[in-house]
Amino acid sequence: MFIIYEFFGLILLLFSPIIILIRILLGKEDINRFKEKFCIFSKKSILSDTVWIHGASVGEILSVVPIIKNLEKNKRIKKILVTSSTTSSSIVFSNFKFKKTIHQFFPIDINFLTKIFINYWKPKLAIFVDSEIWPNMYKNLNKKKIPIILLNARITKKTFKRWQYFPNFSKNIFNKITLALPQNNETLKFLKILGTKKIKFAGNLKYFGERKKLLNNSLKNKFSKKTTWCAASTHKGEEFFIGKVHKKLKSKKKNLLTIIIPRHINRKYEIINNLNQIGLKTELHSSSTKLKKNTDIYLVDTYGEANKFYELSKITFLGGSLISHGGQNPLEPAREGNYIIHGPNIDNFKEVYGLLKKLKIATKVNTVKKMNNIVLKKINYKQKKIVNKRLNYEGIKILNKNLLEINNYI
């Protein structure tokens, strides 16, 4: 099976110049740094004591920031290498001022490239975040006897079924994981079935978050005459739904402004066109200085600024839940004191939503009418202090559990 996997990898490599060019034109690839994916590195390696952390995209990178901050204090670690696969994650990473930590893009998972990568960086420990499972990289790390930790591990039902189509291949990958730290009980069960030898339940790292006041006065003043609410991490089709809700709400709230923070900002013009079709005026965050009076939708087309808008709002709809995607993580807006609205498809975050429902700060909707009613009811929502205390308690406990396990391998 590894031979077939490698064969398809080589085909991908063959067509990669065309794929990269298309991605550059779509704004999905960094024209100055895409070569890192082919192991043409832009940073120098040091010979030892490097801890390597890999997360696919923005969410995974943000979830390990508290881990990185703690590891930077460890004198036994000389360098922390962080890799990711998306341009957006590299932009978000650049907002943090780390002393020991550098960023590179993750290489294409082909046998010879993964060998070059490992031999160049020589990590003493490799940490993969969430569902980042790469057969060739795992195989070659294992050959070098470099411990592999699957941190905040998450395997959905859909992914689990895919792995089960190739039981021997799957077992040959999952048994190379030195330690898995699953974020939920479902993942723990799946990891056992797939052949992971050492598993310790640690909880979802995304519970931890440092609540910082990021909202500046100019942004606050810009929205001072508006009643705002958020729709965050939205996917294709959901913005149109939100637009319909906005139109219905505006009959009751004349000064209403709906803030949309799409999951993929490269879709911004598609979103604007869709909203124009139902007569809504959209303003882009990146080109806005003074808010126009007739603006209906404020579209956030920059990375790493969502928390500012959660501070402005009292209520947030979390996307990926009205479509068959499995939802998005609601913890960031919840920590910022927002009431959470979501659609019926939240399989990827069932345990998180379970806690939010126990705390009575989340509601499921599946119609424009129901969302309209909830937004009107909760538009001036004020979160109880005990809710934030509970979320903070869970976050600190989970962070410390994960750090304890990681430190055993440093």
pLDDT at 297: 97
For the whole model, what pTM was predicted? 0.86
Nearest to 329 by CA among 127, 28, 53, 60: 60
pLDDT at 215: 67
Give the domain ranges of the chain.
46-202, 217-384
Q: What is the mean pLDDT of each run of 10 residues along the chain (410 residues)?
A: 86 90 88 94 83 93 94 94 94 91 96 97 97 97 98 94 95 97 96 97 87 69 91 97 96 94 94 96 90 94 89 95 93 94 94 94 97 95 91 93 96
Same fold: 46-202 with 217-384: yes
Rounded to whole angstroms, how far apart are CA atoms 205 and 60?
A: 10
pLDDT at 47: 66
Buried b (16+ CB within 10 A) or exposed e, 377-386: ebbeeebeee
How far CA 403 is from CA of 202, 214, 248, 398, 409, in Å, comes to 10, 27, 47, 9, 10
Q: Where are the alpha helices (DSSP H) in 195-338?
A: 217-222, 238-250, 268-276, 306-312, 331-335
- The DSSP H or E segment spanning 401 is helix 385-407
Rounded to whole angstroms, how far apart are CA atoms 81 and 88?
A: 17
Rounded to whole angstroms, how far apart are CA atoms 8 and 1?
A: 11
| 83 Cβ neighbours under 8 A, 6+ residues apart | 52, 53, 54, 55, 103, 104, 105, 106
Inter-residue contact 174 to 150 (CB < 8 Å): no
Look at domain 46-202 and name its CATH class. Answer: alpha beta
pLDDT at 143: 97
Buried b (16+ CB within 10 A) or exposed e, 43-73: eebeeebbbbbbbbbbbbbbbbbbbbeebee
pLDDT at 407: 96
Rounded to whole angstroms, how far apart are CA atoms 162 and 160?
A: 5
| Identity at 391, one-letter amino acid code | L
CA dihedral (199, 200, 204, 207) in degrees, to 10, reads -160
Rounded to whole angstroms, how far apart are CA atoms 340 and 328?
A: 11
pLDDT at 211: 59
Nearest to 147 by CA among 245, 18, 246, 53: 53
Enter the CATH code of domain 217-384: 3.40.50.2000
